[in-house]
Amino acid sequence: MICASHESLLGCQLESPMVYSPTMFLKIEKIPQQTSHPRTTTKLEHISLKFDFPLSNTAALPSSYRFIPHTHTHSTPSATKMNKEAIDITHFELERIIGQGGFGKVYACRKKSDAGKLSDKDEWYAIKKLEKDFILKSKTGVESVFTELNSVRDLIHKNICCCQYGFLSDDAVYIVLDIAFGGDLRYALKNSKKKVRLDE
């Protein structure tokens, strides 16, 4: 399984994700696009959103921002080195429940960019906590957990909740995905203002 090779890489030193400020976006805009990767090509269209939505300046940002600074990490004094032996749940601050699935709940969370500390600039993710207890009770549970990770990590598209991380704890399996704050279409339909009468 390909995951095995990732696991061996988990011990290496990495730059921690960048902290973003409005001035940095100006810098980003000037960077020529080095790849045709969908994540990088969609980044600029979202910038205006930062100012459109009151709740959180980070909420409206796509995770794509994280990938840009690799080209100029040296110019950021705020980026601290963090030893990521392995990513785990302690790197995330769970904020609220945003959904419920068969194996567990989905939380809105922020990834702590600085070890242990939380700042307003931390990025939002959806974290799906799948309880091992429930997974093992289901006949195809373990298989489906792997299927989900294997499928979703190949998919990079702006209309898909892409996978950012996957990891284990003693009692749960976690999968970190792009977040969507607007709810699902079932909920949107339920709250739609437009109505039809069927007996006409």
Partner 1 sequence: MNEGAKQQQKYYIFLPSYITDHLPLVASLLNSLHSSQDPTTKLKVFDEDRSKFYLSQVLDALDDCHTNNILHRDIKPENMLIVSNGYLKLTDFGISMKLENVDECKARSGTMGYMAPEIIMAGCSHGKASEWFSIGVCTHEFLLGLRPFDAKKLAKCRAGIDDDLKAELTLKELEKCTLSDNAKDFVRNLVSLEVEGRLGTKEGSTELRNHAWFAGFDFEVVRNQTQKAPFLPDITVANCDTGSNDAEEMFGGMDDEKKISFTPEQQAKFNGYGYNTEIAK
Contacts to partner 1 from residues 25-44, by CB under 8 A: 42
Give dist(CA 185, CA 191) in Å, integer: 10
Least spacing, CB of residue 109 vs partner 1, in Å? 11
Residue from 67, 78, 82, 118 binding partner 1 (CB under 8 A): 67
Residue pointed to by tokens 């003693």: 170
Interaction with partner 1 in 106-125: which residues (CB under 8 A)?
Answer: 107
Longest dimension (CA), the chain: 67
Q: Report if residue 104 touches partner 1, rule: CB under 8 A.
A: no
Residue 93 CB, shortest distance to partner 1, in Å, is 11
Closest CA to 32 of 24, 20, 40: 40
CA distances from 131 to 26, 62, 146, 178 (A): 42, 27, 14, 20
Of the candidate residues 7, 72, 115, 119, the single one contacting partner 1 (CB under 8 A): 7
Considering only residues 140 to 199 of the shown chain, the ones binding partner 1 according to CB under 8 A are 140, 142, 144-168, 170-171, 173, 177-192, 194-199
- In the numeric block, the tokens 């790849």 are attached to 35
Report d(CA 182, CA 103) in Å as an integer. 22
| Tokens standing for residue 184 | 């699902």
Measured distance CA(185)–CA(31) in Å, rounded: 36
Our finding on whether 18 is near partner 1 (CB under 8 A) is no
Q: Give me the least distance between CB of 116 and partner 1, in Å please.
A: 19
d(CA 200, CA 196): 9
Considering only the stretches 21-29, 71-79, 115-123, 136-144, report the one whose residues sit in contact with partner 1 under the rule CB under 8 A. 136-144
Interacting residue with partner 1 among 101, 116, 118, 122 (CB under 8 A): 101
CB of 24 to partner 1, least distance (A): 18
One of 32, 51, 100, 119 touching partner 1 (CB under 8 A) = 100
